Amino acid sequence: MFTSSVGKKLVMGLTGLFLITFLVIHAGINACIWANDGGEMFNKAAHFMGSSVVIRILEIGLMAGFLIHIIQGISLEIQNRRKRAIGYAVKLGNRGSKWYSRSMGLLGTLILLFLIIHLSQFWVPNRSHQGWLLGEELNLYDRMESTFKQPWVVLVYVLGCISLFWHLVHGFQSAFRTLGVSNHRYLKMINNTGIGFSLIVSLAFAMMPVSMHFNWI
C-alpha cells in the first residue's frame, strides 16, 4: 500500500498532520515565556517535557515522524522531477497553481536547515547535558535569552517561520485532500482553518525570538 504513489502521499499527509500536532504542543509550551514571570512557568513546562519518561519515548516517535516526512519528501520530489525529462520553454507558473504549492520541496528544505540550527542551539545541548538518563536540564529560558541576543539568530528564526508558514498553508489542506476529504464545504473549512492555523503558529514562533531580542518580556 505504501509503495504506490498515492500510498507515499498518504505517508506524507499522515506524518505532516502528526508534525502539526507537535507544533501545537511546542508553541503552547513556548508561549509560557510570555507569562512575565522571568521564565518560571516556561522552565517548569520544559522540565516536564524533558523529564517525563513517557514524553521522552514519544520524542522518539516524533523523531521518526520528522525523518520519514523528510526522507519521503525528498525522494518524492526527486522522483517527480524525473518524470519530465525535457522541460517547457515557457512555464505555466502561477497561472495554474500557487507558488508555494509548487515549492514544498524548497520550503521543506529551508525548514530542515532551520531545524538543524534550532536543534543544535537548544535540543542537542540540553539532551547532552542530561546524558542518556533523565538528568538535570539546562535553564532553557536563560539559554533563549542569550541566544536571541544575536540579531542573525533572530533573523534566521523569522525566516524559518516564514518558510513554515507557506509550507503549512499548502500542507495543511493538502494532507486532508490526500486523506480523502472531497466534500467541498469541508474542504473550504479546512482550507480556511489551515491558513488561520499556519498564521497563528508561525507568528507565535516568530514572535518568541523577536520579543526576547527587543526585551519586550
Interacting residues toward another protein by CB under 8 A: 1, 4-10, 76, 79-93, 95-98, 101-102, 104, 170, 173-174, 176-184, 187
Distance CA 141, CA 36 (A): 12
**6 vs 117 by CB, closer to another protein:** 6
Instruction: Report the 10 Å Cβ neighbour count for 198.
Output: 22
Question: Based on CB atoms, which residue is closest to another protein, 29 or 189?
Answer: 189
- The number of angstroms, rounded, from the C-alpha of 134 to the middle of its chain's C-alpha atoms is 25
Q: How far is the CB of 110 from another protein (least distance, A)?
A: 17
Q: From 115, 192, 212, select the one nearest 161 (Cα to Cα).
A: 115
Pick 38 or 93: Cβ nearer another protein: 93
User: Least distance in Å: CB of 105 to another protein?
Assistant: 9
Which of residues 65 and 194 has its CB atom nearest to another protein in the complex? 194
Closest distance between another protein and the C-beta of residue 50, in Å?
A: 36
* Angle of the 104-118 helix axis to the 53-81 helix axis, nearest 10: 150
CB of 169 to another protein, least distance (A): 12
Q: Which of 148, 172, 130, 156 is nearest to 46 (CA)?
A: 130
4 versus 36: smaller Cβ distance to another protein: 4
Q: What is the DSSP letter of 89?
A: S
Question: What's the closest the beta carbon of residue 160 comes to another protein, in angstroms?
Answer: 22
How many Cα atoms occupy the beta-carbon half-sphere of 154 within 13 Å?
15
* 40/141 Cα distance (integer angstroms): 8
